[in-house]
Amino acid sequence: MTRRVLVLNGPNLGRLGSREPDVYGSTSYAGLVDACRKLGEELGLDVDVRETNDEGEMIRWLHEAADGALPVVLNPGAFTHYSYGMRDAASQRTAPLIEVHISNPYAREEFRHTSVVGAVATGTVAGFGIGSYRLALRALADELTD
């Protein structure tokens, strides 16, 4: 039986491949979706990848995850640094939640050094490009088997 997992992406992540490739790499959003689904299959996970520029939609997805005890890989994008509503939704998690970032926020502008989500996440993976998602999915699979 495969376990359903949500991979939730915040603002501007749908623009991967064209948005600042020197920071976020050249993989398109479609490439990210494909990579997550393929690795999910290998790990026995049914990966549902979503992206939104809307804070309210992200909060509704986190409520869906909490209500369904669904594990989450969460790249909050810019919401990471200021969305207390999203942080409060993430804190209601009923399954592992791994915060993920493509770049290393601590090697960037100072405002990116604060994550309001990190304290309520199971863990954080950052700075490995699209590989951050692969590491997060593997960590999630490990959490689910422990």
Q: Are 75 and 6 in contact (CB under 8 A)?
A: no
The first and second tokens of residue 40, run together, are 């999910």
Indicate the pLDDT class of residue 126, thresholds 50, 70 and 90: very high
The first and second tokens of residue 131, run together, are 């590989």
pLDDT of residue 82: 74
Query: Is 63 assigned to a binding site?
Result: no
The residues annotated as belonging to the active site are 24, 101
CATH topology of domain 3-145: Rossmann fold (3.40.50)
pLDDT of residue 35: 94
Which residue do the tokens 């009923």 mark? 94
Query: Is 75 assigned to a binding site?
Result: yes
Which residue do the tokens 């088997």 mark? 145
Query: Is 12 assigned to a binding site?
Result: no
CA dist., res. 81 & res. 63, Å (int): 20
DSSP structural state of residue 2: P
pLDDT tens digit sequence for 4-21: 999 999 987 877 666 655
The first and second tokens of residue 58, run together, are 């992200």
Q: Are 128 and 135 in contact (CB under 8 A)?
A: yes
Query: Is a pLDDT exceeding 70 seen at residue 1?
Result: no
Query: Is 113 assigned to a binding site?
Result: no
pLDDT of residue 75: 95
pLDDT tens digit sequence for 42-88: 999 999 999 999 999 999 999 999 999 999 999 998 888 778 999 99
Give the residue, 111 or 89, on which the prediction is more confident: 89
Query: Is 103 assigned to a binding site?
Result: yes
* SS3 of residue 131 by DSSP: helix
DSSP structural state of residue 54: -
Give the pLDDT mean for 125-137: 94
Identify any residues that bridge with 26 across adjacent strands, giving them in sequence order: none
CA dist., res. 23 & res. 84, Å (int): 26
pLDDT of residue 20: 58
